[in-house]
């Protein structure tokens, strides 16, 4: 399929490159580093060769979210967002941006998002999971009350918020002890991000801000497979759910969430996601440069779904949701 749009596509600054070390074997580090630093050359060739018209770019992980000092996190966000805006200006028809945000300080995060959307023309934000901050040893999650004014700003700007994975902190990783292979995309990324998404749903955030759009990668971090059980466990007890949100969580999942195919190129999984959330809420992505564009495209272009759904998932859902004007 020509004209595809990818939404979870990363780059690095020289100063954030080291954050991506350790996720992949040492022997591919040189290759990964050059993929991450490149924006205008190999990336565009990969897009051309695989029918990808546009990528929405975002900073690598965890970067901004792993800087406990809010002012330093804000400064890095601004450097990354300004650099990205310069790169986009060279090829606005092929590249667009998602803002990095200093979530350590909800007010700074709101202001940086406003700046990125209204002045730099960014299409939304991509945040790498919880934020580390002095005084909160396990980091902060964005269902907490201090973040609600930030969510009000997100809703009023009308832009999507992409909740991207990161690993849990070592002190919160007891279950993985002795099994480092479970970290990252193998398992820990999905577990961490799914719990964060469930916290958002259960907090009542979407009752207060019903227009919010949260995007999850990797075909929903396992949630499409799990939502029914989350709402229907021990059904015979008829016990009301013990969280502040007014409705079953599956309703927020279906009304406030969008999923991308990043790094999860599996037709069986895509069909489950279509059955749970609908083809209007699933969007193509690759997760370049951690995954290959050709692996994503070669799978997606012939996956056994209707051509109508392929066009929606590959392109038109993204044009609508991110108001790309193409
Ligand atoms: Mn990613």
Give the pLDDT of residue 145. Answer: 98
- CA 251 to chain CA mean position, Å: 20
Question: 3-class DSSP state for residue 309?
Answer: helix
pLDDT of residue 228: 97
pLDDT for 23 beyond 90: no
Q: Ligand 1: distance of its center to the CA of 164 in Å?
A: 6
Rounded CA separation 326/323 (Å): 8
Catalytic residues: 287
How much is the pLDDT for 130? 98
Q: How far is the CA of 289 from the centre of ligand 1 (A)?
A: 8
Residue 191 CA to ligand 1 center (angstroms) comes to 15
Output the pLDDT for position 6: 98
- Phi then psi for 59, rounded to 5 degrees? -65, 150
Q: How close is the Cα of 307 to the center of ligand 1, in Å? A: 27
- Could you report the per-residue pLDDT of 93-142, keeping only the tens digit for each? 999 999 999 999 999 999 999 999 999 999 999 999 999 998 899 999 99
Q: Is the pLDDT of residue 161 over 90?
A: yes
Region 273-283 average pLDDT = 98
- Which value, in Å, is the radius of gyration of the alpha carbons in the chain? 19
323 CB contacts (<8 Å, ≥6 apart)? 123, 158
pLDDT of residue 67: 97
% of the chain beyond a pLDDT of 70: 100
> pLDDT digits over 220-272, tens only?
999 999 999 999 999 999 988 999 999 999 999 999 999 999 999 999 999 99
What's the CA-to-centroid distance between 112 and ligand 1, angstroms? 21
The confidence band for 195, taking pLDDT boundaries of 50, 70 and 90, is: very high
Strands 52-59 and 4-11, sheet pairing:
parallel
Give the pLDDT score at 22. 85
pTM for this structure?
0.98
Q: Which domains does the chain have, with CATH numbers?
A: 4-321 (3.20.20.140)
Token pair in block for residue 12? 């690095």
Lowest mean pLDDT among 21-30, 68-77, 136-145, 191-200: 21-30
**Residues less than 5 Å from ion ligand 1, measured at CB:** 8, 287
What separation in Å is there between the alpha carbon of 93 and the centre of ligand 1? 22
Q: Looking up tokens 């090829």, which residue turns up?
A: 91
**Residue 152 Cα to ligand 1 middle (Å):** 26
Is the preceding peptide bond at 289 cis, omega within 30 degrees of 0?
A: yes
Q: Which two tokens stand for residue 202?
A: 């259960």
**pLDDT value, residue 291:** 98
Tell me the average pLDDT of the chain. 97
How many angstroms is it from 217 CA to the middle of ligand 1?
7
């Amino acid at each position: 399929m020509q004209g595809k749009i990818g939404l979870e596509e990363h780059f690095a600054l020289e100063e954030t490159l080291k954050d991506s070390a350790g996720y992949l074997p040492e022997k591919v580090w040189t290759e990964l580093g050059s993929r991450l630093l490149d924006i205008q050359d190999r990336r565009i060739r990969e897009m051309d060769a695989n029918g990808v018209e546009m990528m929405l770019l975002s900073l690598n992980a965890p970067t901004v979210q792993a800087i406990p000092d809010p002012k330093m996190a804000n400064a890095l966000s601004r450097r990354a967002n300004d650099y990205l805006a310069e790169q986009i200006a060279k090829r606005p028809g092929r590249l667009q941006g998602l803002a990095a945000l200093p979530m350590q300080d909800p007010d700074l995060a709101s202001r940086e998002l406003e700046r990125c959307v209204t002045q730099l023309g960014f299409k939304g934000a991509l945040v790498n999971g919880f934020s580390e901050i002095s005084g909160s040893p396990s980091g902060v999650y964005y269902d907490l009350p201090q973040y609600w004014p930030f969510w009000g700003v997100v809703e009023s700007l009308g832009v999507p918020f992409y909740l991207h994975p990161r690993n849990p902190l070592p002190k919160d990783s007891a279950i993985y002890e002795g099994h480092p292979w479970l970290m990252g995309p193998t398992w820990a990324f999905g577990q961490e991000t799914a719990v964060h998404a469930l916290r958002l749903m259960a907090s009542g955030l979407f009752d207060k801000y019903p227009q919010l759009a949260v995007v999850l990668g990797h075909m929903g971090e396992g949630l499409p497979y799990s939502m029914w059980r989350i709402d229907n466990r021990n059904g015979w007890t008829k016990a009301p759910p013990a969280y502040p949100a007014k409705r079953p969580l599956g309703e927020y999942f279906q009304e406030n969430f969008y999923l991308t195919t990043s790094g999860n190129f599996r037709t069986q999984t895509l069909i489950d996601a279509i059955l749970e959330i609908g083809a209007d809420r699933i969007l193509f992505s690759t997760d370049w440069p951690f995954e290959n564009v050709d692996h994503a495209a070669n799978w997606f272009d012939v996956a056994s779904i209707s051509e109508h759904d392929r066009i929606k998932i590959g392109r038109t859902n993204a044009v609508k949701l991110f108001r790309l004007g193409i």
